[in-house]
Structure 1
């Protein structure tokens, strides 16, 4: 896979400050930019010399990112019979970035897709964003504290919270967001998971 040492054209929207903040501590290796949209974070990571797999359902956006050296995957994550079509099976990534995208059934798959020691950097809109415009549909807004709760959505995966914020941002436009950086610390066996669930009950 060819890597780009620089990006020839800057994206219309700059990369998230949250993503920029944690880029220096992303583990070496492949980063999954999930639902990458126009590719602002893929471009940012490529410019830092990092390999990226950009996934989206928009072929035009992916074609442009291919020209910059990104590996790409055309895929609709919500196309499965239960509203989820996770394409990676047991394949894992060194890091995963998700920005301005929320599909709740994906969270257990996201956590399982991280290698041990891998980082998840996630940022999207939350309750209260309607005052600033779209999205305002609750289906696309995290509930208070939900991002923290979702870090426990896969009983076979343990996540260590590195940083978490819930509040208003001003750039690139005013919005109410939740954002988290979390590290996968270890994988639990099925027996461990059963013991944990029994203890909770």
Structure 2
């Protein structure tokens, strides 16, 4: 059985919905981007996209539209140390030790768009390893310091899977005009 979303070249509905918060020209980091469905999505919208993954073959076709970087982000150093992005996008990927780094990589006025598997998924498909399934409320805890714009934790019917997904922004320093987050 395949992992839902990994075989598709179409951007996740969650990412498509919230990409309105990412303006053209924004610097976007797609973490563990695989075949690059979100690299393509944001590049087509005029963003400056960086896709990082450990699979060089998957990244090769993306190099014409985005910056790509082959890196083992689980075992090696974080290749973007000190850099911040206007958007950080993560789907179908969880490495808990990296969560604080991902949150820290969101620039002022930037957005984190995250969607991955949650507890319960073992009852309907892969992944089944609890190391790769978010515990209840885990994403909410991970984005401490960011403003949560949207959050869901539950079951999706097509394809069947349990997910947590969040959109959180790092608001600009105090005194700036409030940003509107259309639903």
1:177 counterpart = 2:177: no
Give the length in aligned residue pairs.
166
Paired residue for 1:20? 16
What is the TM-score with the length of structure 2 in the denominator? 0.86
Within the candidate set 24, 49, 69, 1:73 is matched to 69
What is the DSSP-based 3-state SS (H/G/I as helix, E as strand, rest coil) of the residue aligned with 1:185? Answer: coil
User: 5+ unaligned residues in a row in structure 2: which ranges?
Assistant: 1-6, 174-183
Instruction: Give, in whole Å, the separation in 2 of the partners of 1:100 and 1:170.
Output: 16
1:142 counterpart = 2:137: no
Paired residue for 2:179? none
Instruction: State the shift of 1:117 in Å.
Output: 1.0
Paired residue for 1:160? 147
Larger CA Rg, structure 1 vs 2? 1
Instruction: Give, in whole Å, the separation in 2 of the partners of 1:131 and 1:14.
Output: 25
Instruction: State the shift of 1:13 in Å.
Output: 3.8
Instruction: State the shift of 1:136 in Å.
Output: 0.8
Paired residue for 2:61? 64
User: 5+ unaligned residues in a row in structure 1: which ranges?
Assistant: 1-10, 153-157, 188-201
Instruction: Give, in whole Å, the separation in 2 of the partners of 1:32 and 1:169.
Output: 26
Instruction: State the shift of 1:139 in Å.
Output: 0.2
Listed as ranges, the matches of 1:45-60 within 5 Å are 45-60=42-57
Instruction: Give, in whole Å, the separation in 2 of the partners of 1:101 and 1:44.
Output: 18
Instruction: Give, in whole Å, the separation in 2 of the partners of 1:56 and 1:163.
Output: 26
What is the DSSP-based 3-state SS (H/G/I as helix, E as strand, rest coil) of the residue aligned with 2:19? Answer: helix
More displaced 10-residue stretch of structure 1: 100-109 or 21-30: 21-30
What is the DSSP-based 3-state SS (H/G/I as helix, E as strand, rest coil) of the residue aligned with 2:8? Answer: coil
Paired residue for 1:6? none
**What are the superposed Cα offsets for residues 119-178 of structure 1, whole Å, 9 maximum, x if unpaired?**
0000000000011111011000000111101112xxxxx20000000111234x211000
What is the TM-score with the length of structure 1 in the denominator? 0.78
Instruction: State the shift of 1:186 in Å.
Output: 5.6
Instruction: State the shift of 1:49 in Å.
Output: 2.1
**Structure that is richer in helix per residue:** 1
Within the candidate set 90, 101, 108, 1:109 is matched to 101
Instruction: Give, in whole Å, the separation in 2 of the partners of 1:42 and 1:125.
Output: 20
Instruction: Give, in whole Å, the separation in 1 of the partners of 2:170 and 2:21.
Output: 14
Paired residue for 1:5? none
Instruction: State the shift of 1:65 in Å.
Output: 0.5
The alignment yields a C-alpha RMSD, in angstroms, of 1.5
